[in-house]
Amino acid sequence: MGATAPSSGLEFKVSVDVRRDQQPHHDARIDAHLRVKATGIGPRDQVPAVELAVVIALDVAAARRESAAAALAAALRALPDGISFAVLGGTGASGEPTRCYPLRGRWALADTMEKRRAAFSAGRVAPATDEHPPPGYPAWLAAARALFAERQLPLRHLLLITDGSGHDPADADDADATGTDGGALRAELADCAGAFTADVIAFGADWDPAPLLTVVETLHGAAEHAPDRFGPAVTEALRRQRRVRSPELPVVVAARPAVHAVELTETAPRQQRLAPELRPREPHRIGFPTHQWEPGTRDYLLTLHVDASTDPLGVLLQLATVSVGDTTAPLLTRWLPPGVAVGAGATGDGGGTLQAMNVATQMRTALNRGYAALDPMSREEAEQQFGLAVRLATEIGAGWVLQDVRQVADIVDGPRGLVRVGPTVDRGTVRRGRLHIASGHRLELPEHAAGKPVTCPHCRHLAGPHARFCIACGRSL
């Protein structure tokens, strides 16, 4: 367990859970459960509104113009005082998004009068028409990027509110799970990464989730479905944004030279592989940028690939340390001598949460694949994936998975993983479900062992937490 230290308005505790005894190999793989707990420090629960700049982009078809303008007006009236804001809505003659507010200048500062003017001006939103086709998601991102370049505040956030009318079919291909990198959407997202974060609020039922999920995953935001009166969803998104204490913070792994590869995957609250930020002058010190830190707990799978061919046997080694902010925790292992099986004669020697984390990751992956198979309606594949998710969820008691599956299928036998998708499935429900899963669920993993010492009842000598005999008097513990 690492020490506790403050950083960026947060106090961290870092712990690493790993199976202590390992088999040596020239390419040994070590998996560890990394848990980071962040606690807010200071008198405020939220960052001041003056530190937040937000662009609200309303991408709407003509049929929804009136109701969308009313919802936008309600959202603008509820803005917190002091926030910097700009509103984009409609398409100009050039095919680019137009600025709805402020009427002069590029940014407005929210106060009572400014919010009244902005709400009144929401009626200026011009929907996409045949004469002015929708600009597409890359254009909204580019317009927001240009605005944020002039407002360098600590928190810069885009709220893209869409009914799907601005969707270019090519964007779906670029955002497909095949991993293609071409296309305007991915190119624009590469330019936006690091400049601002983004949330997506989708309403109606005509939008494709793939490009929207690509936007929020790349720009470290959240995606959700909302009714046509989306004002409360905007208010909640801004409230959530003000809980962010640190927009970006690296998880730094400092490894011994014998470690030749390091991987880090976030498993909760979201499931995502993190990209390393290599440092040429410090090849054994690898940073993994993480984003949107607020009070709470995050879980990671840390994987090391180690050449143990020259390491001593039977000696406790520190293969790496993991640091978040000013807090550091070690990763300790011991290579077993030849002929000694891993786990022989040992109980509770670390790694106790790895199995639970792996099961939870498999469960969430299967749930994602099941929903993806229903769009476009591959029922057989969906039933297989949902069945696996339900069986794993039943094992670890993840009730939210069962609730999500019941939105689109009947659970015939949970422990056996038997699921039946009905003859008619509402595609809108499927797409809302995909956004819901991507928004992240807490995976309740067991706490790491505290590792407190044991006192011998006979001679009062201290022993290790898993010792079975006292080394001073030799009696059983």
Question: pLDDT tens digits, residue range 419-462?
Answer: 999 877 887 888 888 887 776 655 555 555 544 555 667 766 65
Confidence of residue 4 (pLDDT cuts 50, 70, 90): very low
Confidence of residue 53 (pLDDT cuts 50, 70, 90): very high
pLDDT(246) > 50: yes
Most confident of 200-214, 345-359, 418-432, 454-468: 200-214
Q: What is the pLDDT of residue 69?
A: 93
- What CA–CA distance (Å, rounded) separates 224 from 237? 10
Residue 337, preceding peptide bond in cis (omega within 30° of 0): no
Number of Cβ within a 10 Å radius of residue 413: 12
Q: What is the pLDDT of residue 439?
A: 66
- What CA–CA distance (Å, rounded) separates 386 from 371? 8
| Pairing of the two strands 272-273 and 259-268 | antiparallel
Confidence of residue 362 (pLDDT cuts 50, 70, 90): confident
**Structure-token match 């793989």, residue found:** 29
| Pairing of the two strands 223-225 and 197-202 | parallel
pTM for this predicted structure: 0.79
Which of 176-190, 237-251, 303-317, 458-472 shows the lowest per-residue confidence on average (mean pLDDT)?
Answer: 458-472
- What CA–CA distance (Å, rounded) separates 36 from 247? 16
pLDDT(180) > 60: no
Most confident of 136-150, 377-391, 425-439: 136-150
